Chains A and B, each alone.
Chain A
Amino acid sequence: MAHPLRGATAITGLGMTPMGRVFGRSATELAADAIALAIADAGLEKEDIDGLLINAGVSQGLTLGLQNYCGFAGLKLLNNMNAAGSTAAQMVQYASMAIAAGMARHVVCVFADTPLSEGKSAGAAYGMRANAPSRPRGMVGLYTAAGYFGANTPYALAARRHMDLYGTKQDHFGEIAVAQRKWAVMNPLAQMRDPMTMEDYHASRWIIEPLHLLDCCLVSNGAIAVIVSPASNAKDLRQPPVYVHGMGQGHPGDNNRAGSDWETETGAKLAAQTAYAMAGIGPGDVSICELYDCYTYTVLVTLEDYGFCGKGEGGPFVEGGRLGPGGALPTNTGGGELSAYYMWGMTPLSEAIIQGRGAGGERQVARNDVILCTGNGGNLSYHGCLILSPHAS
Chain B
Amino acid sequence: MTQETIVPKPLPEPDEASRPFFDGARQGRLMLMKCLTCGTVRLPSRRHCDRCLSQESEWVAASGRGTVRTFGIMHQRYHAAFANDIPYNVTVVELEEGPRLPTNLIGIANGEIRVGMEVVVDWEHHDDVTIPRFRPA
Whether A254 lies near B10 (C-beta < 8 A) is no
A-binding residues in B (CB < 8 A) = 8-15, 17-18, 21, 40-45, 50, 69-76, 78-79, 82, 85, 87-88, 90-92, 97-104, 114-116, 131-132
Give the shortest distance, in Å, between A142 (CB) and chain B (any CB). 6
B132 proximity list for chain A (CB < 8 A)? 142
Give the shortest distance, in Å, between B119 (CB) and chain A (any CB). 14
B11 proximity list for chain A (CB < 8 A)? 135, 141, 144-145
Give the shortest distance, in Å, between B79 (CB) and chain A (any CB). 5
With A147-B82, A147-B90, A257-B42 as contacts: A160 and B70 at CB distance below 8 Å: yes
Task: Give the CA-CA distance A297 to B91 in the complex, in Å.
Answer: 18
B40 proximity list for chain A (CB < 8 A)? 258
Residues A276-306 near B (CB distance < 8 A): none
B116 proximity list for chain A (CB < 8 A)? 164
Residues A228-258 near B (CB distance < 8 A): 254-258
With A160-B70, A258-B41 as contacts: A208 and B75 at CB distance below 8 Å: yes
B18 proximity list for chain A (CB < 8 A)? 137-139
Give the shortest distance, in Å, between B126 (CB) and chain A (any CB). 9
With A135-B12, A139-B21, A164-B115 as contacts: A153 and B72 at CB distance below 8 Å: yes
Q: Which of A36-44, A126-134, A309-317, A363-371 contacts B (4 or more CB under 8 A)?
A: A126-134
With A164-B115, A258-B41, A259-B98 as contacts: A147 and B12 at CB distance below 8 Å: no
What are the nearest 10 A-B pairs in CB distance?
A141-B12, A258-B98, A156-B72, A149-B78, A130-B78, A164-B115, A209-B73, A144-B10, A135-B13, A161-B70
B87 proximity list for chain A (CB < 8 A)? 206, 209
Answer yes or no: A18 CB below 8 A from chain B CBs: no
With A137-B13, A139-B21, A145-B11 as contacts: A256 and B99 at CB distance below 8 Å: yes
A258 proximity list for chain B (CB < 8 A)? 40-41, 97-100
1/0 per residue, CB under 8 A from B, across A135-179: the answer is 111111111111111101100111011001100000000000000
Answer yes or no: A207 CB below 8 A from chain B CBs: yes
Q: A137-B14, A138-B15 are in contact. List 8 more A-B contacts (CB 8 A).
A: A138-B45, A145-B131, A146-B91, A150-B76, A161-B69, A161-B70, A208-B75, A256-B99
B69 proximity list for chain A (CB < 8 A)? 161
Answer yes or no: A76 CB below 8 A from chain B CBs: no
B-binding residues in A (CB < 8 A) = 123, 127, 129-130, 132-150, 152-153, 156-158, 160-161, 164-165, 205-211, 254-260, 263
B15 proximity list for chain A (CB < 8 A)? 137-138
Whether B72 lies near A147 (C-beta < 8 A) is no
A–B complex contacts, Cβ < 8 Å, 25 sampled: A130-B78, A135-B10, A136-B12, A136-B13, A137-B12, A138-B12, A138-B15, A139-B44, A139-B45, A141-B12, A142-B102, A144-B9, A144-B12, A157-B90, A160-B115, A164-B116, A206-B75, A206-B87, A208-B72, A208-B75, A210-B72, A256-B100, A257-B42, A257-B99, A257-B100
Chain A: which residue is nearest B132 at the CB level?
A142
A interface majority secondary structure: loop
Whether B79 lies near A147 (C-beta < 8 A) is yes
B102 proximity list for chain A (CB < 8 A)? 142-143, 146, 148
Give the shortest distance, in Å, between B111 (CB) and chain A (any CB). 10
B71 proximity list for chain A (CB < 8 A)? 157, 160
B45 proximity list for chain A (CB < 8 A)? 138-139
Which of A206, A207, A258 gathers most chain B CB within 10 Å?
A: A258
Which of B17, B74, B78, B79 gathers most chain A CB within 10 Å?
A: B78
Chain B: which residue is nearest A259 at the CB level?
B98
Whether A153 lies near B90 (C-beta < 8 A) is yes
Give the shortest distance, in Å, between B51 (CB) and chain A (any CB). 8
A209 proximity list for chain B (CB < 8 A)? 72-73, 75, 87
Chain B: which residue is nearest A135 at the CB level?
B13
Give the shortest distance, in Å, between B12 (CB) and chain A (any CB). 2
Give the shortest distance, in Å, between B24 (CB) and chain A (any CB). 13
Chain A: which residue is nearest B8 at the CB level?
A134
Task: Give the CA-CA distance A272 to B78 in the complex, in Å.
Answer: 36
Whether A257 lies near B72 (C-beta < 8 A) is no
Chain B: which residue is nearest A156 at the CB level?
B72
Which residue of B70, B73, B88 is within 8 Å of A263 (Cβ)? B70
Chain A: which residue is nearest B41 at the CB level?
A258
Which of B90, B115, B131 gathers most chain A CB within 10 Å?
A: B90
Whether A149 lies near B79 (C-beta < 8 A) is yes
B115 proximity list for chain A (CB < 8 A)? 160-161, 164-165
